[in-house]
Every structure is written in C-alpha cells, then in structure tokens.
Amino acid sequence: MTFDPNYGHFQSAQGGGRGFQPAQGAAPPSTLLDGLRWFYKFDTDSTWPDAVSGGSYWTEVSNPTTVTPGVIGLGIDVGTSRNYLDYAYPPTNLLIDPDKSWTQSFWFKPIAGEPTGGSYHRDFAAYEWQMVVGLTKRATGNYLFTTAAGSGGSSWYDLNLSGTAASEYTDGVWGFGVFTYLHKDDNDGTNSIRSVIARVGGTEYTASYSFAGVNYDIYSGAYANGARVGGYPFSYNYDAGSYLDLWGFWDRILTSDERDELYNSGAGKQYPF
C-alpha cells in the first residue's frame, strides 16, 4: 500500500483507498502578496518596521508617536508638531523603479482644527519634494485626497477629486485612499497616467492625469530617491494634520477586487492578508 498525494490517502495495489480525504475549500494565498514591496503597520513606536522585510529604516524627526486605535492595531501620529519619518537615501526595498507601474494604499484620519484653503496640503507620504500625496482641506471643512507633482520643482499640478462632494473625507474618521502610477509601457506606449482613488462609504471615486513619457521626476530633486511620511518642513502649509495607518506599496497596478480586499468593508486588511 502506498500513499497517493493526489488524493490524500493510502492506495492499495487493487486501487482501493483508505485513510483520510484532503481538506476541502482551503483558500489560495492572496494576490495582494504579488509585487508587494513594503507594508507599514505603524504599530511599533520608534522602530516602525516594515512588515514584509522586518527592517527598520526610518529616521524620526520631532518624535512621531503611535495612536490608539488605528484601523488595525495602532497607527502613527504625523500631525501634531511637524513630526515625520524620513529617509535621505533609502535601501533598495524603498527604491521605486521608474520603468514599472505601481500602487500605494493608505488609511488616514484627518485631525480637527487644521486651517483651510487650497494650498494647505496635508502631506502624509512623499517621494522627494516633487511628488507628494496627502489631503487638502476645503473651506467646507472636508478634505480632498490629493497628489501634487512636478519636474525639478516646476510645472506643478494638483490632482484631486474637487467637485465630487461625495468623495470628501471628514475630520476624525479613518479614510482609505489609493494612488497609482500606470507606466506608459503598460498603457499605450506613449502616455503614463497618475490616479488618485478615494474610497468613501464603500464607493470609489477616481481622478486621473495622463502625460507623455515616464515618471522621471521621481528621481530628481533635493531628496532624490528619498521618502518621507509626515509633514514637509519646507513651508508652513505642509503640516501633515493626519494620523496614518497601513501603508502599502506594490510595483504593479492593483485590481478593483484587490482594492476591495484592502478596504474590507471599512475594516481594513494588513499583511500577510
């Protein structure tokens, strides 16, 4: 009698089987593991390890601290005293390949009392000063999910969901957002596309910007190859004004089903999914 791994039981020479049957309905690994470069849970103050690699690479400025509760576990406070986490030159796990598409996902909780106005970007994650992702507080008191980018500090543009009131976030409530970069080689060969995707009340709202060429500006500027989580110290209007949690980065575009999995009906989902 021999063990047949295809059936999970012992098979006799006459073909009769006895023993156990394999477990039925086991879920396959989540596709969110495909192309995942890093995932920060922000549960450990001062070390802030990457859940994927286990490494701790950040330099703290003005002592950002954990907040309770986060979306899952704890979160990080990057909005009280212009505090932030910084890489001047990150290790390879945080370098972005300019020849690949990518996706970032965030959970954030705006802090009440921040000033309003179109120039007040509440930046919670950035790659050098040419490309920042954050919130812009409107005169209504609500927030737009925003990205701002430029080439060498010029030709700046904002990409947000202004005019779509249902896509706005509110003070004191955890919100989910996704920022994507579709490389031209994965598109039409000529144009790349940046998109911000806000998830509010279970509905996705998307704004996109198409441009010729590739994402060259991600490797230029004062913090070339650098990364920051929190408020920019260069100007008074770049305080983060937000709590942050569950920051993931993939070197591909996530599908709508994968974004749904991360949102998880508003409960969030974290590595290893």
**Are 121 and 148 contacting, i.e. CB atoms less than 8 angstroms apart?**
yes
Tokens of 158: 């904002």
pLDDT at residue 150, rounded to an integer: 56
Partners of 136 in beta bridges:
121, 144
Tens place of pLDDT per residue across the chain (273 aa): 444 444 444 444 555 444 444 456 677 899 999 999 889 999 999 999 999 989 888 888 888 899 999 999 999 987 666 678 877 655 555 556 667 888 989 898 887 766 555 545 565 665 544 566 777 777 777 888 887 665 444 445 567 787 788 898 888 899 999 988 899 999 999 998 888 899 998 899 999 988 887 764 443 333 445 677 776 544 445 555 688 999 998 989 999 999 999 999 999 999 999
What is the rounded CA–CA span in Å between residue 164 and residue 148?
A: 18
Segments making up each domain of the chain, as ranges: 39-266
What's residue 102's pLDDT? 87
Q: What is the pLDDT of residue 217?
A: 46
Residue-level pLDDT at 219:
39
Count other C-beta atoms under 10 Å from residue 13's C-beta.
Answer: 7
CA distance linking residue 164 with residue 116, whole number of Å: 18
For the chain, what is the radius of gyration of the CA atoms?
Answer: 22
39-266 maps to CATH 3.40.50.11030: no
Question: What local confidence, expressed as pLDDT, does residue 199 receive?
Answer: 93
Count the Cβ atoms, other than its own, within 10 Å of residue 19: 12
Res 126: pLDDT: 57
Q: For position 214, what pLDDT does the model report?
A: 72
